[in-house]
Structure 1
Amino acid sequence: MKALFFLYEGYVDWEISPLSCMLNVCDVEIDTAALNEEVTHEGKFKVKVDLNIEACNPSNYNILIIPGGEPAPFDKDERLLTLIRGFDKQGKWIAAICGGPHSWRRLAFCAKESIQHNDRVSQSFWLTFFICEINDVP
């Protein structure tokens, strides 16, 4: 299993820290991606990401995770919208925390596109089900 975290300027690091820890415990490989090589999170630490967003192939991942913060300045970036579309078209999990859903909501409603509205597109509550699914927990 493999997870992709999309990080952006001002993302809230403490919202994804427990999740990344749980995924590591479950032996889920994690990559980070952003629009730039480096981002600064809400706590003002600079983070160098693993991949530029253009290098991300949804086929290589089981889930896309968008943390909270203020993603609105980035939700019009075609590279992010293309990544979300790619996960959606392949029926992959798309999870977003707090302010994170803003990106796929904008894509679904403003761009008038169809984003799956099922258990594969969810906010943080459903991440528990993803973690249980990867561990075959009933």
Structure 2
Amino acid sequence: MMRVLVPLAQGCEELEAVTIIDLLRRAEIEVVTAGLTDGPVTASRGTVLVPDTTLAAVVDQMFEMIVLPGGLPGAQYLEEDSRLYTMLRRHAEQGAYTAAICAAPKVLAVAGVLDDRQATCYPGCVAPDAFPRLTLIDAPVVTDGRVITGRGPGAAMDFALELIAALVGPERRDQVEAALIRSH
């Protein structure tokens, strides 16, 4: 079974975190949520999330994908966690997927994962001058190789569906989306 790590930081964007976790689990992908510290995580709008484990407990494990929810100050806490950089670089070097949405693509940029790639993020979260090897695209979701980025909370469902397509194929993605009864 595919395993995906979703690190949860205090102040993360709950719409993004919960949508990612929920849709991946609907696709029968194992999702491991890991708090940067022990205990519950209070998201940006006050929703309390209870991670499955801590980042310290899984730091040496490999996953098919690491997905970073955005939100502030959650993305800043992710950006300040050196363990995450080690994991992101190791996963990227070994061909695993890395993904981030909203303010969190900056973490991928700082880790060097977005060098020579196209990506999207919440407007203003990534300064183009600071990352000259990154091409920012104004789109809800951008996939470039094994890196997937999303613009913000409004793109969370499309972002999560793209993650499913990448991991288990477009047919499974379409099945999950059909059961959601989305209007287009």
Q: Structure 2-normalised TM-score?
A: 0.62
Taking the aligned partners of 1:92 and 1:55, their CA distance within structure 2 comes to 19
Contact 1:13-1:41 at 8 Å conserved across structures: yes
Determine which of 82, 90, 96 is the counterpart of 1:92.
96
Matched AA of 1:97: I
* In structure 1, distance between residues paired with 2:161 and 2:105: 17
Asked if 1:137 is matched to 2:170, the reply is yes
Alpha-carbon shift at residue 41 of structure 1 (Å): 0.7
In the other structure, the counterpart of 1:119 is 145
Number of residue-to-residue matches in the alignment: 133
Matches within 5 A, 1:2-21: 2-21=3-22
Residues 1:75 and 1:44: Cα distance change in structure 2 (over 3 Å):
same
2: CA distance, partners of 1:55 / 1:17: 21
Structure 2 residue ranges without an equivalent (≥5): 118-143, 151-157, 172-184
**Counterpart secondary structure, 2:170:** coil
Paired amino acid for 1:31: V
Matched, 1:67 2:80: no
In 2: Cα distance, 1:80 partner to 1:116 partner: 21
1:5-34 Cα distance to aligned partner (Å, 9 max, x none):
011010001113223222111101111112
Name the CA distance, whole Å, in 2 between partners of 1:58 and 1:69: 25
Greater length-normalized contact order (CA 8 Å, ≥ 6 residues apart): 1
Structure 1 stretches of at least 4 aligned residues deviating more than 3 Å after TM superposition: 113-118, 125-130, 133-136
| Contact 2:13–2:70 (Cα < 8 Å) also in 1 | yes
Change (3 A) 1:18 1:126: closer
How many angstroms does 1:136 deviate by? 3.2
Matches within 5 A, 1:52-63: 52-56=54-58, 57-59=60-62, 61-63=63-65
Q: TM-score, normalised by structure 1?
A: 0.80
Specify every segment of 5 or more residues in structure 1 that has no aligned partner in the other structure, as ranges.
Answer: none
Does structure 2 conserve the Cα–Cα contact (< 8 Å) formed by 1:58 and 1:86?
A: no
> Highest CA radius of gyration, 1 or 2?
2
% identical aligned pairs:
24
